[in-house]
A and B are shown apart, each in its own frame.
Chain A
Amino acid sequence: MKKRNVLTWVAAIATVFATMIASSACYFWFYQPEEPKSLSDK
């Protein structure tokens, strides 16, 4: 149960991060992986 909670938190933080980056031109520094289709805002 505890492990599941930690994973839920990690997933939530990662999703917030991904959504924040989606509206920008690129990642914070040099590497830019392929953007997931569900976040794409070309």
Chain B
Amino acid sequence: MAEKIALQLNYDEDKRAVIAYGLTAMIQMVTIFASITTIGLILHIWYECFIIYMSVGIIRKSTGGAHSKSMQGCIVVSVLSITGLSVISRYALGFEINVYANLLILFLVFTIGFIVFYLRVPVDSPNKPIIKSEKIKRLRKQSFILLAVLFVISFILILLAVKNNRFYSLAFSIRLAMLWQVLTLTKTGIQLLGKVDAGINAIFELG
């Protein structure tokens, strides 16, 4: 498609590459969003799916993390992880618990997040290496700001859950998104997701 656009508009190779890069990002985002929306509406977990999709997506832009080798691998891993975590959030964790216990879990999850962010952020990829110290500093700063923002949102959702039970699950969605993102930043998580990605790509190649 980028080739066609560049040809029609008489763009050079540089512009064609930029358009292809932007289009790939848009297609990836729209495909994942459309898939989780469909599954989310069927399983009544759309809000959880949307929270996890946005939380992980926004944090990743600063922290980086494990990467898939192909677009199809990315879409399968993303959709499975978003919907899987949403189902857990809604149907396994989304029940009334003591507000202090809920806040304790919040502190534990975000403390783990803080430690892993401090040790690992940013985690780059061979296709987009991060070398400049100013950029590393900026991304680290952004990551900690986002961590604080998500902490505050989770805190508010936990307080709202006291009045409306539906918020228990939504509050857990952010914590599960945080734990998932933390996993993708660790060496073990990167190796594990690499194996899952390789398996998915092998299945696609067979087909």
List residues of chain A with CB under 8 Å of any chain B CB.
3-4, 7-8, 10-11, 13-19, 21, 24-39, 41-42
Contacts and interface: CB of A to CB of B under 8 A. Distances in A.
A7 B8 CA distance: 8
A17 B135 contact: no
Interface footprint category on B: 35 or more
Contacts of B19: 10-11, 14-15, 18
B74 A18 contact: no
B17 A29 contact: no
B125 A32 contact: yes
A7 B10 CA distance: 12
Interface in B1-41: 1-2, 4-5, 8-9, 11, 14-15, 17-26, 28-29, 32
B17 A38 contact: yes
Interface of B: 1-2, 4-5, 8-9, 11, 14-15, 17-26, 28-29, 32, 56-57, 60-68, 70-71, 73-75, 77-78, 122-125, 127-132, 135, 139, 193, 197
B28 A36 contact: no
Which has the most chain A C-beta neighbours within 10 Å: B28, B56, B127, B128?
B128
Nearest to B58: A28
A20 B167 CA distance: 32
B71 to A, nearest CB: 5
Contacts of B67: 26, 30-32
B135 A41 contact: yes
